[in-house]
Structure 1
């Protein structure tokens, strides 16, 4: 295996948002040295996202993070472009977690990353970098002046206005914003009970309770063109727009946070150029709809983390990083498609009302609700894991199952993924899969178990053995494909 250059660190991550912190933690679990550069002095208290989808819940669960969030509430309600959808259709596994602000998620991930030994440098603004072919030289402005770091790889997790993406020459095609929406989190706002939102001739209004006396208001005026801004709008601007659309005066409320956003939709044509990669909003921007932005970003990070960690520690060739683009770029493209569709429904004027009414009836059907819930949650993702398996489970996430290990201990399958290692789960009598996997014992844990009589959900594993990647996706299942080839593809050469 080619040796990696010995610099100041293995990976520099630009940005300490959910994607950057999740990636940094995953890299540390893989044994890599990581420095995170964040231009803000402290974690933001602002939160566009107010929860996470079912897939992100599973991602956090597989690393043992859920207890850190406290009590979790799952909501069966949801919408697609403001048209109601029952996301808890069927067994309820598509239901999202609500009431957890993105700011809280950043705190939880930041504390976890720091515990794992991630070097998080706040108040450091990345200014420029050079990919030398053997590594990346990074410059940043810090509290004490300019900082220079040499790393094997640089990952831009620095948001929609990514410096890494722009300086790295990544193509970012798509459409600019056609409208601007104003948002404010306020206290002391008096609105009728259960008032959530409606359309008026002049635009769209939304008001959602956030708890503790806080309400989020969003207003969209028809014909309002995006403005060039150097900072957030004033609350007075939000209140004036609200009054023009609704006729109601909310200026007496107390603003806590004010922001604006648009419906731009862009995606990088490649997620990797040499030793520079993109994840999260640096790779794709879109209308924030159904809380998908943070969730897709976190899942980008988990897909990339174990792969980049294996490369920088010399366990795998850098060609493994190509699978990051091939697996996650289609997910980003699907994200842009569905948020563009939601923008038509969400922001359209009276001409789209007949479409909303028809779709309201369609979405009441279980099949349509299940399709949309899977689309928004990410639960229906299936990766191409190569010629190493054509079993229905191959490329899909390990089902949520309850296991009984050989020693009699009951455990959810997700707990076996806490160390972020590969897992060979032997559920049948054939000893050969476990015997083969033990040749990779430095990177793959082997567990013999049976499925518990009382499953956690309606999901099950219809295979006598499965090989699971560190990100929770099945790389091989017994009855199809070559286990030895799957182990080589995902974990390199045998180690034992």
Structure 2
């Protein structure tokens, strides 16, 4: 790295102003950390790779009071796994947000950027990071900005800069996995005769196509053509299909092209699947697509990246403030890498279902659809997994920990009129003392209460399942249970 003059400093530099980077910046600012976001693009992309916000992501937004994001989307009570005919029903899930939220990524990013800026984050567009290096006390980044090259020094840098992450490569973090063997396409178009009844989906021997109405009079078509299963195909994703090819695939699968015209965006994507070997290398960390790459099945990528940022934000802030216990920052990789690995396993399984064009594959799809319809426990487990409501971070000592330790806390209501999510608004640890048995919190937990813990004495408004016999609960800022008794 050339020895240019260091023009400024920040506690944390976040590289990438997608949903993951913007949310991480907001979470760091909530904890009082000075953060600068550097984005190579001069303007936000008008195109939306993702359309879906899942229940756990909506919960986190609700915990932080971002009702405007929730209100901007259209709630859908059903979801899908591998585009199976039978849909997953979210309405019975233990969450105040029992739905997926249809919200184009461009709108999500705009709302998150406004939120990050309101919190005090510095967001700079047209600033491309070209190199970085670290020493024991800092990270130095070389940047090409609108007014020329400069350097910025930070105590930590986080790569939220996508699957081709400059930060990951500069840090020397391996990105093992598999290359694409299957290609899909998407097209945002205007329709003369939109399909009646909302979203349409059909996957069979002729291929698969789903159509979802978007704002501004557009419809998103996503398709998989059996002819695009080519192991070893090195065709670049930038090779877009033509509108005629999109029409032909849609007619073959759905029987009509619905008068599609005026394509606003057509793109191709593959099933290359990779995960960073580590999410932390010294003072450099990764989150979102920089850490995991996969086929975009079910819209999970944006959500898992968002949840990476939620896990990392408070840990990085505590480390910077000098209040973190030993190993806290390392727990980011320990907790989130397995979640990323499970994400990749899920998207691979769904890709197999979506490309099951043979008679045997169609039989498998029909069998699993039948299980979703007839076995409520199976359907609920898939819905909880898709919505990230089942994520648990294993405690360091499982034998000594309460069974609820590491699980996500539901939004229980209290007798004093408060609710759990409202207590997490400030991003602090919260110690709930739920009556006369509150002192039964483990000695280790009570003696090591994190700095700034909010103590709240109350009772449950009504019995709440596994919470009914709890005397005390220590909640992490991300809404997971740190300790209970």
TM-score w.r.t. the length of structure 2 is: 0.89
Picking from 322, 328, 333, the partner of 2:336 is 328
1:360 positional shift: 1.0
**In the alignment, structure 1 residue 425 sits paired with structure 2 residue 425:** no
Aligned to 1:204, which of 191, 205, 208? Answer: 208
Contact 1:19–1:294 under 8 Å retained in 2: yes
Do 1:426 and 1:465's aligned partners in 2 also have CA atoms closer than 8 Å?
yes
Q: Decide whether aligned partners of structure 1 residues 312 and 441 sit closer, same or farther in structure 2, where only a CA change above 3 A counts.
A: closer
Taking the TM superposition and a 5 Å limit, the aligned residue runs for 1:380-419 are 380-387=390-397, 390-405=401-416, 410-419=417-426
Match of 1:186 among 156, 181, 189: 189
* Secondary structure, aligned partner of 2:384: helix
Shift in CA distance, 375/308, structure 1 to aligned 2, threshold 3 Å: same
Provide structure 1 residue ranges, at least 5 long, that are not aligned to the other structure.
1-6, 479-496
Q: Deviations over 1:337-387 (max 9, x none)?
A: 111100011122123101011111111110110111111111111112323
* Aligned partners of 1:399 and 1:459 also within 8 Å: no
Q: Distance in 1 between matches of 2:380 and 2:103?
A: 24
How far apart in 1 are the matches of 2:465 and 2:217? 38
For 1:146, what is the secondary structure of its paired residue? strand
- 2:369 maps to which residue? 360
- 2:121, 2:308 → 1: CA distance? 19
Distance 1:214 1:230 in 2: 22
Q: Deviations over 1:173-202 (max 9, x none)?
A: 111111211101111342442471324544
Instruction: Structure 2 unaligned segments of length 5 or more: list them.
Output: 1-7
Counterpart position of 2:261:
253
> Aligned match of 1:269 in 277, 293, 303?
277
Distance 1:97 1:247 in 2: 28
**How many residues are aligned here?**
467
Paired residues of 1:185 and 1:216 also in contact (CA < 8 A): yes
2:124 and 2:188 map into 1 onto residues whose CA distance is: 29
Instruction: Tell me if structure 2 keeps the 8 A contact 1:186–1:254.
Output: yes
Q: Quote the residue 2:42 is aligned against.
A: 41
Counterparts of 1:21-420 in structure 2, within 5 Å, are 21-70=22-71, 73-83=74-84, 84-88=86-90, 90-91=92-93, 93=95, 95-194=98-197, 196-199=200-203, 201-224=205-228, 225=230, 227-230=235-238, 233-239=241-247, 241-242=249-250, 248=256, 252-316=260-324, 319-351=327-359, 352-364=361-373, 365-387=375-397, 390-405=401-416, 410-420=417-427
Superposed CA deviations along residues 62-114 of structure 1, whole A, max 9, x for unmatched, are 11112344265432322111112323263464733332222221111111110
Give the Cα separation in 1 of the matches to 2:438 and 2:383. Answer: 39
Q: Deviation at 1:258?
A: 2.0
Range with bigger deviation, 115-124 or 86-95: 86-95
Q: Distance in 2 between matches of 1:252 and 1:86?
A: 29
Distance 1:380 1:431, change over 3 A: closer
Taking a change above 3 Å as real, the CA distance of residues 133 and 91 of structure 1, as seen in their structure-2 partners, is: closer
For 1:288 and 1:223, the matched residues in 2 are separated by 19
> Cα distance, 1:397 vs. partner?
1.5
8 Å contact from structure 2 (residues 193, 259) kept in 1: no
**Is 1:443 equivalent to 2:452 in the alignment?**
yes
TM-score (norm. length: structure 1): 0.87
Partner residue in 1 for 2:10: 9
> How far apart are the structure 2 equivalents of 1:183 and 1:86?
23
- Contact persistence 1:76–1:92 (CA under 8 A): no
Change (3 A) 1:203 1:155: same
In the superposition, relative to structure 1, how do residues 452 and 317 fare at CA in structure 2: closer, same or farther (>3 Å)? closer
- Aligned counterparts of 1:241 and 1:23: Cα–Cα separation in 2: 39
Summarize the Cα distance change of 1:149–1:267 in structure 2 as closer, same or farther, 3 Å threshold: same
Which residue is 1:482 aligned to? none
**Aligned with 2:88: secondary structure?**
coil
The 8 Å contact of residues 233 and 259 in structure 1, kept in 2 or not, is answered as: yes
1:470 and 2:474 correspond: no
Aligned to 1:20: 21
Distance (whole Å) between structure 1 residues aligned to residue 260 and residue 186 of structure 2:
16
Distance 2:466 2:190 in 1: 43
Q: Distance in 1 between the 2:325 and 2:241 partners? A: 48
Any conservation in 1 of the 2:81–2:88 contact (CA below 8 Å)?
no
- Asked if 2 retains the 8 angstrom alpha-carbon contact of 1:19 and 1:301, the reply is yes
Alpha-carbon distance in 2 for matches of 1:450, 1:244: 60
2: CA distance, partners of 1:86 / 1:200 = 19
Q: Measure the CA separation in 1 of the matches of 2:70 and 2:195.
A: 31
